[in-house]
Amino acid sequence: METATFAAGCFWGVEEAFRQIPGVIQTTVGYLGGYTQNPTYKDVCTDETGHAEVVQVEFDPAKVGYEQLVDAFWSMHDPTTLNRQGPDIGTQYRSAIFFHSAEQERVARASKEQAQASGKFRRPIVTEITPASPFYRAEDYHQQYLAKRGLSHCHI
């Protein structure tokens, strides 16, 4: 198994989208990329901890490649909006790929260049690509939030 970590706005919908990809074994929502230890959702929502809402994806590379996960990431959100996705505003909603290896970094950077060159996005992509830092698991009620409610997405 391998791990990939993505931030693409509110983690509820992003988690559900990744859960639908064959080869994804497990998803966990949480907080990453900040400087406060053991932040809570309430802490992260202050926009003062530096953390992003993220989905950590455990996947079987024999069934789905990291490249496929990154490609899916670009289609899950608008990577051209800084610290915002839809109605959600704040640094915790930023677009980011947190890499766990040099190979993941290479793939993420190449994919970002391809996505920008594709013409699909009219504005520059603002997605950060940075090393993964300590991951803090979100509270239980956030885990598989949409699936527990029989929903497939949270935006109108």
Confidence of residue 146 (pLDDT cuts 50, 70, 90): confident
Give per-residue pLDDT as tens, 55-93: 999 999 999 999 999 999 999 999 999 999 988 999 999
Question: What span, in angstroms and rounded, lies between the C-alpha atoms of 43 and 34?
Answer: 11
Q: Is 106 within a domain?
A: yes
- Work out the percent of the chain whose per-residue pLDDT is above 90: 85
Q: Is 100 within a domain?
A: yes
Strands 24-32 and 128-131: unpaired
Give per-residue pLDDT as tens, 74-83: 999 999 999 9
Tell me, what CATH number does 19's domain have? Answer: 3.30.1060.10
pLDDT exceeds cutoff 90 at 101: yes
Q: Is 74 within a domain?
A: yes
Q: Is 155 within a domain?
A: no
* Residues contacting 40, CB < 8 A, separation 6+: 139
Q: What average pLDDT is seen over the chain? A: 94
Active site residues per annotation: 10
- Average confidence (pLDDT) over 13-38: 96
- Asked if 137 contacts 30 with a C-beta cutoff of 8 angstroms, the reply is yes
Question: What span, in angstroms and rounded, lies between the C-alpha atoms of 25 and 58?
Answer: 6
pTM of the model: 0.94
Q: Is 153 within a domain?
A: no
Question: Residue 123: what are its φ and ψ, rounded to 5°?
Answer: -110, 165
Q: Is 41 within a domain?
A: yes
Confidence of residue 156 (pLDDT cuts 50, 70, 90): very low
Q: What is the pLDDT of residue 153?
A: 67
Number of domains comprising the chain? 1
CB atoms within 10 A of CB 102: 9
- Average confidence (pLDDT) over 25-42: 97
For residue 24, the SS3 value is strand
Helix/strand/coil percent split, the chain, to 5: 30, 25, 45
Q: What is the pLDDT of residue 152?
A: 67
